[in-house]
Amino acid sequence: MAAGAFVALAVLIWTALSSGQSGPPPFPVIGRTAPDFTLTDHQGRQIRLGQFRGRLVLLNFIYTNCADVCPITTATLTRVQRGLITRGWWGRDVVFLTVTTDPARDTTAALATYARRYQADPRGWHFLTGDLPTLRKVYRAYGIAVRSRGAAQEHDLPTFVIDRKGRVLGAYGVGFESEDVVHDLAQLR
């Protein structure tokens, strides 16, 4: 599948899942160069998106106290990770970056606990946090709306696909299937 067809497919998937209607891409970053950022991962390392040029990147946004769709998305990505490890692509060809929407509670220790719970392999999966002003810049750059509702965070939940050149090809919406992601990544390899 050509990258352009993948973008169109991903945008259609996102649009169908999130609104039930077709229209323009829901996130203005789709089709553009992924805005670079540097955050701290669950092992205390500084991680810069740009360091993964040459690899495919899945970028998503969660918070660890979520009792709704964040754990479902993370569990699905865990299954994708297993498929990529089996194929020998994990870390070398594909990495995941998961950014918190709740930096007050999602410390590096909290993210490390969450990563262990989901058996995230740190060779290719980085759970990221930072100070609130830095994270707000990342949210704005990717078009992610985050609203605190007490202990809960209302936020957009795309899983962006970034190609080897750093371009955002599209985004999966809530409820994507792990097999579809592995298939799409195989087409992009």
Task: State the CATH number of the domain containing residue 65.
Answer: 3.40.30.10
What is the DSSP annotation of 37-97? -EEEETTS-EEEGGGGTTSEEEEEEE-TT--SHHHHHHHHHHHHHHHHHHHT-BTTTEEEE
The structure tokens 């609203």 sit at: 147
Do residues 125 and 96 touch, judged by C-beta distance below 8 A? yes
Rg (Cα) of the chain, in Å, rounded? 15
Cβ proximity of 169 and 151 under 8 Å: no
Tally the domains of the chain: 1
Q: Measured between alpha carbons, how far is 163 from 149 in angstroms, rounded to an integer?
A: 34
Indicate the pLDDT class of residue 26, thresholds 50, 70 and 90.
Answer: confident
φ, ψ for residue 90, nearest 5 deg? -65, 130
Specify the pTM. Answer: 0.86
- Give the domain range for residue 104: 3-188
Angle CA 42–43–47, to nearest 5 = 80
pLDDT tens per residue across span 46-68: 999 999 999 999 999 999 999 88
| Short-list 73, 142, 129, 71, CA closest to 101 | 129
Confidence of residue 16 (pLDDT cuts 50, 70, 90): very low
pLDDT digits over 161-172, tens only?
A: 999 999 999 999
Distance of CA 189 to the CA centre of its chain: 18
The amino acid occupying position 133 is P
The rounded mean pLDDT for the chain is 88
pLDDT band at residue 151 using 50, 70 and 90 as cut-offs: confident
pLDDT of 183? 94
Cα gap 12→26, rounded to integer Å? 10
